[in-house]
A and B are shown apart, each in its own frame.
Chain A
Amino acid sequence: MSFYVESRRRRYAAAVVLAGLVAFPLLAQALDQGFYVSLMSRVLIYALAATSLNLVLGFGGMVSFGHAAFVGLGAYTVVLLTSAGVVSAWVAWPAAVAVSALAALFVGAVSLRTRGVYFIMITLAFAQMLYYLVVSLKTWGGDDGLPLAARNVVGAGIDLKDDANFYYAVLACLVAALLLVGRLIHSRFGRVIQGIRENETRMEAIGYPVFGYKLACFVIGGALAGLAGALLVNQTGLALPNQLFWTQSGMLLVMVVLGGVGSLYGGALGAAALLILEEVLAGYTIHWQLGVGAVLLAVVFLAPHGLAGLATVMARRRHG
């Protein structure tokens, strides 16, 4: 099957999924299942966070084990701004993006001097520093976190307090982020960072400023994670230090690997699969983590390229 047929088919699939997501709140409200709108908002927010990590990990080839720090930083920025009187989403959310991007610039500038396992560990170290900083700052609420007084205001007669409106805001952000990442990975910049992922020495020899490209990729990933954090705190109404703990970074990594490393929709797919699996299992048993763990193990051994890879393999098999 040629690349173009495959990419066209993928575009159709994306359009169908998008149509389904747009119709979802209407359907849920018609069936009187409003709870699912808020659940799906959560799924979409994590889809955004995982997509941002996949840009860094899957396309940039950098195994960042501290990505939750940028999500958490975005969340805290929004809460602190809101309690200072800045309630407009048009100010608070870009500010969250900017703060996370700045943090990523600093963390990246230091961490990218190391390679491999050491890069994993140093990004982890920075995330843990931020976690402990947040926990020990009394003015930031310590262990209890900081509550968000009310969801941010977007104006134009749209009230985000309504779960359906908030859902559409999240969906818009996710779609915009996917479009951006999609454009990015097919641009010159995207080709270069994927070249670096494949062979850093060669790209360096050709004359590309490898460090700068990797840092730019890391910063864009961090910025998008900040947006996810801003949305997350609007959804839960609380910025918690646990959102920065290393297990959260691990969870994001799991989502990306589960969905498919280096596949445009991999992060979103993995986030949706993991959160929906959790929700379904939690409906049956309080020991749902056991089931999630078992499924993850099965994925590692049976579908090494994640769900996106599995879909490709199945499509290939069907079409010969």
Chain B
Amino acid sequence: MTQLILEQALNGLQFGLMLFLLAAGLTLVFGIMDMINLAHGSLYMVGAYIAASVAEQSGSFVLAVIVAIGATAIIGALLELAVLRRLYRRDHLSQVLATFALILISNEAVRMVWGDQPVMLAMPEALSGPVEIGGFMYPAYRLLIVVVGVAAAAALYLLVARTRLGMWVRAGASNREMAQAMGVDVQRLFTLVFAIGAALCALAGALLGPLLAVQVGMGESILILAFVVIVIGGIGSVRGALVGSLIVGIADTLGRALLPTLLREVVPLEIAASLGPALASILIYLLMAAILFWRPEGLFPARA
């Protein structure tokens, strides 16, 4: 039982870190420009598809991840310059409409290039086996995801907390007008932030590709989870996004693994069998509703 919990906790950590890669970009876009970008999940999808194609052509997983990150960052920057930049001053509704349109367009574009069927993205051969950690076996590839996720989170933390660029970003998130008045070129900063967000999306897409199906619509379900994360963490706060991601990732994974078993202890088997999965899948939404109810600004509000 302990081993099961430990293994599932590691899975949860892995899922949470991947969520963080998506949520970090989303929370900055949301925090600085007060912009709802539903098309963020599409960048994740595009990143996964590009990685799958490059891996297929070259046979190198590392090359695939690098190309996916670079290409998606460029796509993100172009998207910002061409469309999103015009939306910052509009109300949330127009942003929802326009970025919803972008989802339709990118889904169809992906379908035109790669076809309707899910695409395979094979994990690197060397990492397909299990490794032993602390007395139990764990898939090596999942461990790699945890390591890369931690590294990416650390790099992002250093970028935001220790560099001039990060200072501008934080200034923009806490008060955009004031940052602008102090001479920060918010427009250029934002194109950059958007490109970084897109790159993180691609990293998550490429890493999760071998575990989940690379298919049209993969961005839509994970996008909502990323929104849940940033609302829990506090919009605009990267630290909040990290904490929110870990909470959501671990709660969701542990809930799915343990709730059906736990329920069997208290209610009849038949009810537990159907109630368990249902309860597990709505757990994080309950969590978010509860947090919004008691702390409407999230756990780490960016605007004090």
Contacts and interface: CB of A to CB of B under 8 A. Distances in A.
Contact of B292 (A57, A118, A300): A118
Contacts of A122: 288-289, 292
B188 interface: no
B64 to A, nearest CB: 27
Contact of B293 (A113, A121, A246, A290): A113
Interface stretch (B102-110, B176-184, B205-213): B102-110
B278 interface: yes
Interface string B208-237: 000000000000100010011001000100
Interface in B45-95: 83, 86-87, 90, 92-94
Secondary structure type dominating chain B contacts: helix
B274 A139 contact: yes
Contacts of B101: 254, 292-294, 296-297, 300
Nearest to A116: B92
A147 interface: no
B11 to A, nearest CB: 19
A297 B102 contact: yes
A30 interface: no
A144 B228 CA distance: 27
Interface string B97-129: 110111111011101100000000000000000
Contact of A290 (B86, B109, B220, B227): B109
A129 B293 contact: no
A257 interface: yes
B93 A129 contact: no
A247 B286 CA distance: 20
A138 B132 CA distance: 38
Contacts of A250: 38, 96, 100
Contacts of A136: 274, 277-278, 281
A46 to B, nearest CB: 16
A114 interface: yes
Contacts of A118: 231, 292, 296
A115 B297 CA distance: 10
Contacts of A218: none
Given A135-B281, A289-B105, A121 B100 contact: no
A132 B282 contact: yes
B289 A110 contact: yes
Interface string B150-182: 000000000000000000000000000000000
A57 B94 CA distance: 13
Interface in A68-122: 110, 113-118, 120-122
Nearest to B102: A293
Contact of B98 (A110, A139, A261, A297): A297
Contacts of B235: 117
B136 interface: no
Interface in B280-298: 281-282, 285-286, 288-289, 292-293, 296
Nearest to A304: B94
A289 B92 contact: no
Nearest to B274: A138
Interface residues on A, range: 35 or more
A139 B224 CA distance: 26
B36 interface: yes
Contact of A110 (B90, B220, B227, B293): B293
A260 to B, nearest CB: 11
A287 B293 CA distance: 42
A247 B30 CA distance: 20
A297 to B, nearest CB: 5
Contacts of B281: 132-133, 135-136
Given A117-B235, A125-B285, A290 B108 contact: yes
Interface string A119-131: 0111011101100
Contacts of B93: 57, 63, 253, 257, 261
Interface in B251-304: 274, 277-278, 281-282, 285-286, 288-289, 292-293, 296
Contact of B282 (A117, A133, A247, A289): A133
A138 B108 CA distance: 32
23 contacts: A117-B36, A118-B292, A118-B296, A122-B292, A125-B228, A125-B289, A125-B292, A126-B285, A128-B224, A128-B285, A129-B282, A129-B286, A132-B285, A133-B281, A136-B281, A137-B278, A246-B220, A251-B100, A290-B109, A290-B112, A296-B100, A301-B86, A301-B98
Given A132-B278, A132-B281, 9 more contacts: A115-B296, A132-B285, A253-B96, A253-B97, A258-B97, A289-B105, A290-B105, A293-B101, A296-B98
Query: Ordered nearest first, which 7 A-B pairs have the shortest CB separation?
Result: A296-B101, A293-B104, A293-B105, A132-B281, A136-B278, A290-B108, A129-B282
